[in-house]
Amino acid sequence: MTGTTTWLTQEAYDRLKAEYEYLTGAGRDEIVARVAQARDEGDLKENSGYHAAREEHAKQEARVRELKAKLENAQVGTPPDDGLVEPGMIVTLDFAGEEMTFLLGSREIVGTTELDVFSEASPLGASILGRSVGDEVTFTTPTGAERLVKVLKAVPYDG
């Protein structure tokens, strides 16, 4: 698995694919029509509707690029249950004497659930990536503090 691979459940993959297809089809047609309509309203320098539509179009195109990259680099299924902390795993840590459970990976995997998600590129995620249950590791928080964590559990997220 490469650093750009995103583990997705089949449900998450299907949801992202449907969003991508909408944004590159009917969604794109809708925003292009709004831009054209706003352009027809007159002076573009003072046309706030035109500028808002263009900004929305730019955001939509950025989301299309993001979705395309995720879908092209998606690994559908669940990561192997090999005892290693990897993207797509539910990880439980001992963090300063308290248990902390979260998904290591992308928010796209879980959709709207209340499960916390940490990127494998975050300071905590990067420090535990590839570790095994029982491993202890120190990481530097964004504020510069050093924290010791212990991996208590790592199981694949199955949606």
CATH of the domain at 68: 1.10.287.180
Residue 140's CATH number: 3.10.50.30
My answer on whether 45 and 96 are in the same domain is no
- Host domain of residue 32: 6-76
Q: Are strands 146-156 and 136-140 parallel, antiparallel or unpaired?
A: antiparallel
- Among 20, 49, 76, which residue terminates a domain? 76
Report yes or no on 60 lying in a domain: yes
Is 16 domain-assigned?
Answer: yes
pLDDT for the residue 80:
74
Instruction: Give 10-residue mean pLDDT values along the chain (159 residues).
Output: 67 91 94 86 75 90 92 82 86 92 84 80 92 93 91 87
Q: Within a domain: residue 82?
A: no
- My answer on whether 148 and 98 are in the same domain is yes
On whether residue 81 sits in a domain, the answer given is no
pLDDT of residue 113: 67
Residues 121 and 62 placed together within one structural domain of the fold: no
At 76, give phi and psi (nearest 5°): -85, 135
Three-state DSSP class for 109? helix
| Statement to judge: residues 60 and 95 lie in one domain | no
Q: Say which DSSP state 101 is in.
A: E
Alpha helices in 25-158 (DSSP H): 26-39, 48-72, 107-110, 123-128
Q: Tell whether 10 is covered by a domain.
A: yes
- Residue 112, pLDDT score: 61
Strand 136-140 with 74-76, pairing: unpaired
Is there a single domain that holds both residue 66 and residue 106? no
Q: Would you say residue 48 lies in a domain?
A: yes
pLDDT, residue 93, reads 96
Q: Are residues 65 and 103 in the same domain?
A: no
Predicted confidence at residue 1, as pLDDT, reads 42
Domain count for the chain: 2
Residue 130 CA to residue 104 CA, distance in Å, equals 11
pTM of the model: 0.68
